[in-house]
Structure formats: structure tokens, C-alpha cells
Structure 1
């Protein structure tokens, strides 16, 4: 099953609002009227999950007070295929000194975004126990994994969140250190997915195309990275790696320092351009 991350999403009609806060970082989640109560609990669980891991920003600004996420159900490509899509749509950015760093860097945070799920897949995902993992996956993209890496501002010729090398290899120091500790002590970069086309390539950790096999890259618990939450295809049982958590530190968030085994999850497009908001710090 393919997880699609779109860079182009339309604005949504909303009538339900949920706010939850764990720390200084918070997620405001809104639903359209297609979401019945049978779906909403998985979303609130995903909010709680990410708020328990991402606890603050590494820079203090009144503009950084959480992220607003709109969730909708829509018909996409029928059963199977693309299960969900997500993208940030509003940003705060600047050249700032992040907590713990010695020198300023060009950082961009998402403050608004959207998630869309194929209405023809949702019940199947709930029944097989993978809907929660899919929501957590898409929510991570809205927050920034794979969607705010190396964003180029043509007006100032500035690259924000420069965590990718010229060869499109992930080299952000915090995630790379975690990857070395967790998967490969000799690694000089984290492999990024190159297959799967637009929305999958370039925005996920690498695995075998179509999720069709094991990579042979395992963590100390023996878990193959093919089952990691932020690869491009949904394989179960899903787990969240220290690498994924540390990636958020690379892009300007404070994260709770937990071993990957403690945050393990065992859980049996639109082409319309969205409105984007930018605020300079």
C-alpha cells in the first residue's frame, strides 16, 4: 500500500475543531463533516502521540505556537493504491540561533497544513489495524518530515532546513547520528527513497520499492527499516525509529529523548494549489 505525500493540497471546509496540548508544541486538528466519531479517535491518538515526542521549538518566537492541521476524507483512486496525502501550507522562517547550536541557521517551521485520506480505503484500514499508523505518518509530513527539507526561497536565494546533500542524501546531524547508533555505524548519510514517483520519492526513508521485501538494515531490536513509520509504503507491524524522532530536531524542534523501543507502534491528491502563508521571524 502506497503512502502519498502531496506538495499541492487545496483548502478544506471545516466544522469540527479539536485542540490538544502536551507541551509548548501543540497540534490543532480540524475535521470536515465527513468524519464520524468512529474515525476521530485515531486522529486524537495521533495528536497525543506526536505531542508526546515533539515537546517544544528550539527557538522562542510568538509566531511559533503550534500547528493547525485540517483533515478530510475524499475519493481518490479507489480501493488500495494511494491511501493518504499530506502537506504543510503555512510557514514561519528565519535565520536564527537554535537552542543547542553555536551558529545561526536558516530554519523553516510549518504552522498550517492538511491531510487527505481516501474514503474508499478508510474502513479497510480500520479493520486491519493500520489506520492509526497511516494518520501518524501523514501528520509527520505536515509537521515537516520530507516536506520542509531544503526549501529554496528564490527571492533571497536561501535554502531553509538544508538537511539534504547535493546527491539528495539526508545528512542532518541529529538524525544521522541516530541512524548511525540505530542502523549503521558506518553511515555517512541516510538513504532517501528514490522510487514511487511524485509524493513518495524524495520524502521518505528508503526501502525496497513497493514495500516488497526487507532491506536487511535492522535496529538493535532486529526490526527492519522496511517497517519504519516514515518509509514510503505501509508495512506492519510499524515502529517509529530514533532516526525519525531526531529528524525533527534537525528541523528546529525539541524532542523527548526516548529509546526507539519505547515509542514503537504495534498497530495491527489533490492537484489544486493550496494557499500558503509565510511569516519571517
Structure 2
């Protein structure tokens, strides 16, 4: 069954019960043509990435024997970042690595979420969760209520919730290392792409995730995000928490400023 995703750890399968939610953007619903284009982009994301293509790829580090079928599906980390400074691009990644469990590839492709799992790990390489702390955008780490404080994402969160009383974006407070503090809170975000558990397709990339990339320093088009409806908060059952090992990796290498800034 599809499984958890992780910032320095891995993607883990979500609990088995089916989800019967409609996905629509409560803030600004797309017109028929735009909705059709978004569905096409979603289909293409899964269709153009196949287990065979990955297995036959030229980079052997894409595949590893992580923990067998289920549990951790993939993991990612940043290896090199831009130098620290006042610029918006400071500390943004230059290079990163993703690894996927070869035992899970065929099932991920069969269930239609291989593209989602890969996109999730790409998100971590871009800095989602992996740079929250370094950018000063994570509060309450290790507590019962960690949260993301990027202003752009905070502006989008109440729009999707239909409420203005939750300004901070809730971060995962359950699970082990590699899940908690490095994903959106699963019981608040459901099957959104950057929660720690992978579920049945689609796993949409919401306006909140797109906006959070802007908070990191990227230029983003929030309107290009997938349509997404956040669920009402619900209790997370023990069966929904995937325990997986954290990938222990060295801190990213910070490039010298002269290699990035000219003049």
C-alpha cells in the first residue's frame, strides 16, 4: 500500500481507508479550461515517470534497498546550498539527492502515485521542511504544536480552511524523526502532497505549499497550484503513523560567496 514521505527520512504509506473527498480550491476555483489543464498536468506527472525508467536510469543512487515493501518509499536531502546572507536566495539549494526503495517502485506505479512520491521528495530537495529552520520559518519544533510562519503560506492557509482564526500553518506533530516537524500536519491537510503520508491519487500540491516556496525565497505562481480541499481536523489513529528511519546525512555544504555572486 502506498506509504510515508520524509524530508531527511522517507515517504510512508498512509492508512488504508479510502478517501472520498472532492478536491476544489475554495479560494479561487479554476474555470473549465484551466481545470482541464491542471488535470492534464497531474496525469502527465505520473505518466511520464515510470518504474522501468527509474530502474534503467543512468544514476544508480536513485534506487536503494531501504526497508522492503511498504514503510519508507523514498528519502531526500540537500547536499549543497547557496551562501548565507540577506538576499532572498540565501541558503537555497544548489544540489540535492533523492533515493527510492526499489522494492516499492512497481506498486507505486500501479497505484498511480509514483509521480506524487517523486514530486514530494523533490519538494524536500527544494527546501520544503529541510530549510524551514535555517530560514527561521519553523516555531515549536519538538512540541505538541509546531508551525510554519512564512507570511505567504500563512495568508493562503485560512483561505483554504474557510476561516481566519488559524494564522500559523500547522506542521506535523506526530510520528518519528523524518516525519514530525518536516511535513504539513496530516490530520489538517489530508492527502496534500507535502504531508508525511502518501495516499491514493491525487495528492495535490496546494496553494499553501506553493506559497511556502515563495517564503523560502523562490519566485512562484500560486495560481498554478493544484485544486485542493483541506479536511476538517481529525484525530490521527495509531495505524496512520508510519514509523521509519531517519536518513542520517551530513549538513549541506555552503558554497563560497564568490562562486555565486559576481561583481
Same fold at TM > 0.5: yes
1:82 and 2:72 equivalent?
Answer: yes
How many pairs does the alignment contain? 194
Q: Structure 1 residues 143, 261: closer, same or farther in 2, change over 3 A? A: closer
Alignment counterpart, residue 129 of structure 1, candidates 112, 126, 134:
112
8 Å Cα contact 2:9-2:76 kept in structure 1 = yes
Alignment counterpart, residue 180 of structure 1, candidates 152, 158, 161:
158
Structure 1 residue 280, shift from structure 2 partner: 4.7
TM-score normalized with structure 1 length? 0.61
1:238 and 2:203 equivalent?
Answer: yes
Q: Structure 1 residues 197, 143: closer, same or farther in 2, change over 3 A? A: same
Which residue in the other structure is 1:249 paired with?
Answer: 214
Q: Structure 1 residues 247, 124: closer, same or farther in 2, change over 3 A? A: same
Residue ranges of structure 1 left out of the alignment (5+ in a row):
9-34, 44-68, 99-105, 152-160, 209-214, 216-224
Structure 1 residue 141, shift from structure 2 partner: 0.3
Residue ranges of structure 2 left out of the alignment (5+ in a row):
11-48, 230-244, 258-263
Alignment counterpart, residue 53 of structure 2, candidates 25, 39, 43:
39
Q: Tell me the C-alpha RMSD between the 2 structures.
A: 3.1
Which residue in the other structure is 2:168 paired with?
Answer: 189
Which residue in the other structure is 1:3 paired with?
Answer: 5
Name which of structure 1's ranges 236-245 and 177-186 shifts more when overlaid on structure 2.
177-186
The residue matched to 1:254 in structure 2 has which SS? Answer: coil
Relative contact order, higher structure (CA 8 A, sep 6+): 2
Structure 1 stretches of at least 4 aligned residues deviating more than 3 Å after TM superposition: 259-264, 269-276
Name the structure with the higher helix share.
2
Which residue in the other structure is 1:112 paired with?
Answer: 95
Structure 1 residue 259, shift from structure 2 partner: 5.3
Partner Cα distance (1:174, 1:280) in 2: 29
Name the structure with the higher strand share.
1
Q: Structure 1 residues 259, 5: closer, same or farther in 2, change over 3 A? A: closer
Q: Structure 1 residues 39, 190: closer, same or farther in 2, change over 3 A? A: same
TM-score normalized with structure 2 length? 0.65
Partner Cα distance (2:7, 2:52) in 1: 24
Partner Cα distance (1:124, 1:181) in 2: 35
